[in-house]
Amino acid sequence: MTGSEDSPAFRLAYVPGVIPAKWVRIWNERRTDVPLTLLQVSAAEAHALMLAGDADAGLVRLPVDRTVLSAIPLYTETSVVVVPKDHLVAAVDEVTAEDLADDIVLHPLDDTLGWETLPGRPALERPATTEDAVELVAAGIGVLVVPQSLARLHHRKDLTYRPVTDVPESQVALSWPEERTTDLVEDFIGIVRGRTVNSSRGRREEPRADQPKPKKRSGTEGTARKPAAGRSAGRGAGAGKGGAAGRGTRSGGSGKSGGTRQGKPRRKS
């Protein structure tokens, strides 16, 4: 972990569908001295942006290249199928990949689900973006399977979506260049992991240069006061005198009582 920062702000990239608002709010409450700059990028651009040093960290979708990027998985999204409102799928609560066998399933070039086998029938061409694919769904060309957050992001009144139970899901993670795990990155890791500001695992703040140093105690502080010589001597002398007299009296009494007891004189007959 390095102690210096290369930029005056913490630059956080995030991909479509990810909402960083909660973490940004906590950052702004805790790190008032360092502004956080948000960089909205595509899923394909996020990794290159961090490796080039143009972003300190990113909220991205897995997988990432673990040889150069560190990553902490945050949550997994449900995958949904986006369909027109009059589609048969709209009448049920959820579907399986098999239920889409007769549909044309669009596969945009910026897909984030990492399919091994795409369900349904393939389209003649792949849309350039997820947004373009949503437009084709609205035109009745086919259906689209995406993470739920992307379905919400590109919501249209004439479309709806339903969960798909047996297809790949998307994992969102916090990622950053492994060689640039700065103090600011550590601070943001603590925030996304839910650590409190006083957490023992959090990074301790260094004392500021303008912060006053604690005052040293003088040599006289904390020393018990000595009683005045005259008062102490008076009490001591009185105590000694009284003690001696007391002991003498008790001793005399003890001697008297300890002698031979004399009886009454006998009368002569």
Could you tell me if 105 and 122 are in contact, meaning their C-beta atoms sit under 8 angstroms apart? yes
Kindly state whether residue 202 falls inside one of the protein's structural domains: no
**CB proximity list for 6: less than 8 A, separation 6 or greater:** 53, 182
Q: What is the pLDDT of residue 31?
A: 95
Q: Which domain holds residue 152?
A: 79-168
> Which residues contact residue 154 at a Cβ distance below 8 angstroms, ignoring those fewer than 6 apart?
82, 130, 131, 134
Domain membership of residue 203 (yes or no) is no
Distances in Å between the alpha carbon of 101 and those of 29, 96, 188? 50, 9, 44
Say yes or no: 72 and 176 in one domain.
yes
Helices (runs of H) and strands (runs of E) counted in the chain: 6, 10
Say yes or no: 51 and 179 in one domain.
Answer: yes
Q: Report the alpha-carbon distance of residue 55 to residue 46 in Å, rounded.
A: 8
Plot region of 94 (φ>0 → left; ψ -120 to 50 → alpha; else → beta): beta
pLDDT in tens, 165-220: 999 999 999 999 999 999 999 999 999 999 987 764 545 444 444 555 555 555 55
Would you state the pLDDT for residue 229?
A: 54
How many distinct structural domains can be found in the chain? 2
Please report whether residue 5 resides in a domain: no
Q: Report whether 86 contacts 140 (CB < 8 A).
A: no
Question: Average pLDDT over the chain, rounded to whole?
Answer: 83
269: in domain:
no
Query: Could you tell me if residue 140 is inside a domain?
Result: yes
Q: Are 164 and 83 within one domain?
A: yes
Residues 144 and 35 in one domain: no
76 contact partners, CB below 8 Å, separation of at least 6: 169, 170, 171, 172
Are 17 and 121 in the same domain? no
Measured distance CA(13)–CA(7) in Å, rounded = 15
d(CA 33, CA 27): 10
Q: Which residue has the higher pLDDT, 240 or 164?
A: 164
Per the structure block, which two tokens stand in for 174? 């916090």
Q: Is the pLDDT of residue 1 over 50?
A: no
Calculate helix-pair angle for 183-192, 21-30, nearest 10 degrees.
Answer: 120
Does the residue 207 lie in any domain? no
CATH number at residue 57: 3.40.190.10
Residue 74 has pLDDT above 50, yes or no: yes
Residues 24 and 156 in one domain: no
pLDDT given for residue 33 in this prediction:
95
Per-residue pLDDT at 138 exceeds 50: yes
With 70 as the cut, is the pLDDT of residue 142 above it? yes
> Which is more confident, 249 or 144?
144
**Of 168, 202, 231, which one is at a domain's C-terminal end?**
168
58 and 72 housed in the same domain: yes
Same domain flag for 36 and 84? no
Domain boundary residue among 168, 202, 233?
Answer: 168
pTM: 0.71
Residues 31 and 158 in one domain: no
Residue 248 has pLDDT above 50, yes or no: no
| pLDDT of 102 strictly over 90 | yes
**63, 170 Cβ separation under 8 angstroms:** no
**pLDDT at site 211:** 52
Last residue of a domain, one of 192, 224, 255: 192
Residues 19 and 150 in one domain: no
Based on the domain organization, do 175 and 59 belong to the same domain? yes
Residue type at 13?
A: A
Instruction: Say if residue 17 is in the same domain as residue 148.
Output: no
In a domain, residue 141? The reply is yes
Mean pLDDT of 142-149: 98
Q: How confident is the model at residue 251 (pLDDT cuts 50, 70, 90)?
A: very low
Instruction: For residues 3-24, give the mean pLDDT.
Output: 85
pLDDT band with cut points at 50, 70 and 90 for residue 8 = confident
Answer whether residue 245 shows pLDDT above 50. no
Q: Is residue 255 part of a domain?
A: no
